[in-house]
């Protein structure tokens, strides 16, 4: 291996050590503050370290076809220690700022979506429901107008006719009258409740 390739390899491994420190701090920031059970926590940590090992080996493979030497490990350790002593505080502050900015952006987009999309849809649904309620209340009111106008004359004629009806027929007619009265009272109470709620 030439000196140039060794220098490139050491530089890449120092950078890989710095990356490894950043990856560990990022993982700890997003993961260890959340409460999880032991099995999931250990599984995720094992998968994290396997992924980091594969990334480091892939970088080494791109640089010198994956040839491992002692100075490779020393360069990774040096890069990690350099990150811990120089860049760690700056990176953690920058990471917090990025997280806060991302959270604020997502919150702003969510509020904008709710105000521009969700709120108009809710208002439109309320308007449609209100108009349909008014429409059906108006239809029922139109149906009840003739009954209210002719109620007393019909009841008067009914009282006269009732005297001429035989007793057996009268029983069936009375039961039908009670049934119609119940329907009328139900519809009347329903319309009153609708108008009272509207007010």
Q: Dump pLDDT digits (tens) for 54-91.
A: 988 888 888 887 777 787 889 899 999 999 998 899 99
Q: Dump pLDDT digits (tens) for 104-116.
A: 999 999 999 988 8
From 90, 116, 151, the end of a domain falls on 90
- Low-confidence winner among 13-17, 42-46, 130-134, 150-154 (lowest mean pLDDT): 150-154
| 172 vs 195 pLDDT, higher one | 172
From 73, 90, 107, the end of a domain falls on 90
Which pTM was predicted? 0.57
pLDDT at 33 over 60: no
Position 122 in a domain: no
Position 18 in a domain: yes
Q: Are the CB atoms for 147 and 184 separated by under 8 Å?
A: yes
Position 121 in a domain: no
What CA dihedral angle connects 59, 47, 80 and 65, to 10 degrees?
-20
| 35 vs 84 pLDDT, higher one | 84
Q: Dump pLDDT digits (tens) for 181-191.
A: 777 677 667 66
From 90, 116, 141, the end of a domain falls on 90
Task: Answer yes or no: do 78 and 27 share one domain.
Answer: yes
What is the domain range of residue 80? 3-90
Q: Which pLDDT belongs to residue 97? A: 93
Position 116 in a domain: no
Other beta carbons within 10 Å of 110: 11
Task: Answer yes or no: do 17 and 71 share one domain.
Answer: yes
Number of domains in the chain: 2
């Amino acid at each position: 291996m030439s000196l140039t390739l060794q220098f490139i390899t050491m530089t890449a491994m120092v950078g890989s050590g710095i990356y490894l420190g950043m990856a560990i701090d990022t993982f700890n920031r997003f993961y260890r503050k959340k409460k999880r059970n032991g099995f999931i926590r250990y599984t995720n940590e094992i998968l994290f370290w396997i992924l980091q090992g594969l990334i480091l080996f892939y970088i080494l493979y791109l640089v010198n076809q994956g040839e491992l030497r002692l100075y490779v490990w020393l360069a990774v350790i040096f890069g990690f220690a350099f990150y811990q002593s120089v860049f760690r505080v700056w990176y953690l502050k920058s990471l917090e700022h990025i997280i806060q900015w991302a959270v604020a952006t997502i919150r702003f987009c969510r509020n904008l979506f709710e105000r521009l999309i969700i709120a108009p849809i809710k208002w439109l649904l309320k308007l449609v429901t209100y108009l349909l309620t008014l429409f059906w209340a108006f239809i029922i009111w139109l149906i009840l107008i003739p009954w209210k106008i002719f109620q007393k004359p019909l009841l008067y004629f009914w009282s006269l006719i009732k005297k001429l009806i035989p007793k057996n027929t009268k029983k069936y007619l009375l039961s039908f009258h009670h049934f119609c009265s119940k329907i009328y009272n139900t519809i009347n109470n329903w319309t009153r409740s609708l108008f009272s709620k509207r007010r």
